[in-house]
Amino acid sequence: MEDIAARIKKKRKLNGFTQAGLAEILNVKPQTISGWERSLSSPKGGALKSLADTLNVSSSWLLYGEDGNESILPKKCDIVTLVKLYKDVCASAGFGFENENIDELDVYPIPNNVIASQINKDDIFCIKTHGNSMEPVFYDGAILAVNPMRTDIYDGRIYVIRNNDRLRVKILKETHAGIILSSFNSEYEDELLSWGDIEGSSFDIVGEVFWFSSKLND
């Protein structure tokens, strides 16, 4: 059965590209193309879309060998599962970020070995981060995979929260006084949301971050 590596190689050759030529167009190293075609790695995010556009196919076809509206639904192949990405929604890695256009959907590939441990896989979604409070663990623009069914606080885990109508990503810890919001970046001090402040407010735990895809600073 043909897999993603075989489809990439076949379409590359049909379009008349060498590995080096395709790598130049996509602004990646030839070793990256070689790795994709030998199943050592797989294209993700913007690289997947750029590859599909260059080869005149859809991202869904590259991953699964099929086309159609299924491209915005969670699906699986041997390597990754496509998860809904709200591409214009950001969780602030800082003090808050206003979101608009929350209906803009895309997809993002999550490694199957990561998503296998998650129940309710159809509910999982991805959003981006904005800001630097979670550096150096993940950076501005990182993709977060969120499970909205996991809203119980386990001290020291990372959650996306809604606070005063703004999405934020923080490490949470429960205390007798309230919930402590912490960052990885030592320049940001811990914040305490008292139980009194939380009661009757718009505070909500959107879900737990169980995986993220970071990027290095440009």
Q: Is the same domain home to 40 and 96?
A: no
CB 83, CB 124: distance < 8 Å = yes
Domain end among 56, 72, 88: 72
Q: Is the same domain home to 180 and 110?
A: yes
The count of domains in the chain is 2
* Tens-digit pLDDT string for the chain (218 aa): 468 888 898 888 877 888 999 999 999 999 999 999 988 888 988 889 899 889 888 888 888 776 544 444 444 556 778 888 887 778 887 544 444 444 456 778 888 889 888 988 888 999 999 999 999 999 999 999 999 999 999 999 999 998 877 899 999 999 999 999 999 999 999 999 999 988 877 889 999 999 998 654 44
Handedness of CA 130, 132, 133, 138 (dihedral sign): positive
Residue 161's CATH number: 2.10.109.10
Q: Is the same domain home to 54 and 106?
A: no
Q: Is the same domain home to 126 and 216?
A: yes
- How many Å from the N-terminal Cα to the C-terminal Cα in the chain? 39
**C-alpha of 29 from chain center:** 23
Q: Is the same domain home to 42 and 80?
A: no
Q: Is the same domain home to 80 and 126?
A: yes
pTM above 0.85, yes or no: no
Q: Is the same domain home to 38 and 90?
A: no
